[in-house]
Structure 1
Amino acid sequence: MNKTGLKDKLIAELVDQNYVHAYVLFYFGIKFYEYSEFTLEQVCKQRGLKVDQVVKELEAPTHLHEADLPLVSYPIDLIIEYLKHSHFLFIKHKLPYIARLVESFKAHHDDYQPVERDLKLVFPLFVEDFIEHIYEEEDTLFNFIIALERASKGSYLPGKLYYLLEKNSVQKFAIEHEAHDDEMEGIRKITKNYILSSNAPLHVKVIYNELKAFEKSLITHARIENEILFPKAMAIENKVRKAFFEKATLN
């Protein structure tokens, strides 16, 4: 699409064409539901934005697919850094954006009044639980794996390592992690699996698509942890435990 076409489109049309446009506009301070009947050029003039810069961001690719990254070949510390970066994007970008969509949600449609009510009640609780789970994972699982990686290279204090090995196991973390793999089950029920009626309002379309995309990201994130991080971590842990206790026996 040419730039002139984007400039002249109504904000509602831009978002209806591609819900990701709403996310891009949001980070320029443009809430699509407040400017739906303005063209992009009109909004940019009103807010003192360079329309060409906004157009450039709207036309830019917005997703880096994990499938494009050779994560399985990465050393474990880089995998953890990648996962931490994903956590940062979830907590500092995606969730605040979706939360704002939910807060400002006015269904104006009989079919979606119960959805508005339930999402406004449930989504803040989901965010709170999700963030708590993320920080706990980084403080426990990731720190344990990093300690194992350092120990595998000979960098450890025997007493501290013994305590860590007695208190933790990657397998235990993996089992606990599996219990969190379907964190969005309640939201799927509220939205009836994100199914939209043909006359669904634009705000509903954006919320449903964002929730669905977020759940897809979580599924991919969990797959990376389950299929790449945990197997690598277990292999390192087995190596460390064997070496540590063999050395302890010799002493």
Structure 2
Amino acid sequence: MEEVSWKNRRIGELVEENHVHAYVLFYFGIKFYEFSELTLEQVCLQKGLRVEQVLRELESPSLLQETDLPLTSYPIDLIIEYLKHAHFIFIKHKLPYMAGLVQGFNAQHDDYLSVERDLKVVFPLFVEDFIHHIYEEEDNLFSYIRSLERAVKGNYNPTRLFYLLERSSLHKFAAEHEAHDDEMEGIRSITRDYKMSSDTPLHIKVLYNELKEFEKSLIIHARIENEILFPKAMALENKVKKLYFEKTKFN
């Protein structure tokens, strides 16, 4: 599509054509539902933005997405860094964007009035619980695994290691993690599995598509933790226990 046609198309049209455009515009400070009838060029003038820069991002959005990295072959410290980076994207990018969509939700459609009401109550609670879970995971699980890494390299205090192994267990972490694996069940229920029809308003289409994509990312994220991180961490934990008890046996 030629650049001139992008400049002169309405924001609503661009988002209707590709819902990812709404995400790109959001990070330029443009809420598509507030400027849907204006052209891209008109909005850029209002916002003091360089239209060429916005066009470049719309045409080739540099959005960070889940990739098919060979994580199974990665050392455990790199897997943790990958997961922490995904946490950062969730908390600093995806959740604020979706929260803005929910906050600006104005159903204007009888089929979605109850959805609007319920999402405005439930989604902030979901965000609060999700962020708490993320930080708890980093402070406890990731911290524990890093301690195991140091211990297997011989960098540990025997007394502290004893209490760490007594207090923590990867089987317990895994069980608690499994309980959080379907965090979006309530949102799916409210939206009736993101059900849409031909006359669904654009704002709702964008919101539902973002929620679906976020859920897909969470499923991939959980699979990486369950199928790659935990098995590697459990093997590490067993190795540390064996080293520790062999050492104490001869003291």
- Shorter-chain TM band: over 0.9
Q: Deviation of residue 71 (structure 1)?
A: 1.1
Instruction: Determine the structure 1 residue equivalent to 2:19.
Output: 19
> 1:20-169 residue pairs with structure 2 within 5 A?
20-61=20-61, 62-67=63-68, 69-169=69-169
Cα RMSD, aligned residues only:
0.9
* SS class of match (1:66): coil
Cα distance between partner residues in 2 of 1:125 and 1:64:
25
Gap change, CA 1:65 and 1:87, over 3 Å in 2? closer
Cα distance between partner residues in 2 of 1:18 and 1:79:
32
Contact preservation (8 Å) 2:150, 2:156: yes
Cα distance between partner residues in 2 of 1:88 and 1:151:
28
Cα distance between partner residues in 2 of 1:207 and 1:12:
14
> 1:185-200 residue pairs with structure 2 within 5 A?
185-200=185-200
Amino-acid identity (%): 70
TM-score by length of 1: 0.97
* SS class of match (1:72): helix
Cα distance between partner residues in 1 of 2:73 and 2:169:
23
Question: How many residue pairs were aligned?
Answer: 250
Q: Deviation of residue 105 (structure 1)?
A: 0.5
1:190-212 CA-partner distances (Å, limit 9, x unpaired): 00111101100011001101111
The list of structure 1 runs, each at least 4 consecutive aligned residues, that deviate by more than 4 angstroms after superposition, is: none
16-25 or 55-64: bigger deviation: 55-64
Q: Deviation of residue 30 (structure 1)?
A: 0.5
Instruction: Determine the structure 2 residue equivalent to 1:2.
Output: 2
1:18-62 CA-partner distances (Å, limit 9, x unpaired): 111111101101110110001111111111111110011111243
User: 1:16 is aligned with what amino acid?
Assistant: E
* SS class of match (1:137): helix
Cα distance between partner residues in 1 of 2:231 and 2:5:
49
Cα distance between partner residues in 1 of 2:138 and 2:216:
21
Instruction: Determine the structure 2 residue equivalent to 1:181.
Output: 181
Cα distance between partner residues in 2 of 1:123 and 1:9:
32
* SS class of match (1:155): coil
* SS class of match (1:244): helix
Cα distance between partner residues in 1 of 2:110 and 2:167:
53
User: 2:144 is aligned with what amino acid?
Assistant: F
Cα distance between partner residues in 2 of 1:241 and 1:2:
63
170-179 or 56-65: bigger deviation: 56-65
Contact preservation (8 Å) 2:66, 2:217: no
Q: Deviation of residue 63 (structure 1)?
A: 4.5
Q: Deviation of residue 151 (structure 1)?
A: 0.8
Gaps of 5+ in 2: none
Instruction: Determine the structure 2 residue equivalent to 1:170.
Output: 170
* SS class of match (1:33): helix
1:216-239 CA-partner distances (Å, limit 9, x unpaired): 110010000001100110111110
1:62-100 CA-partner distances (Å, limit 9, x unpaired): 343332x11111111111111111111111111011111
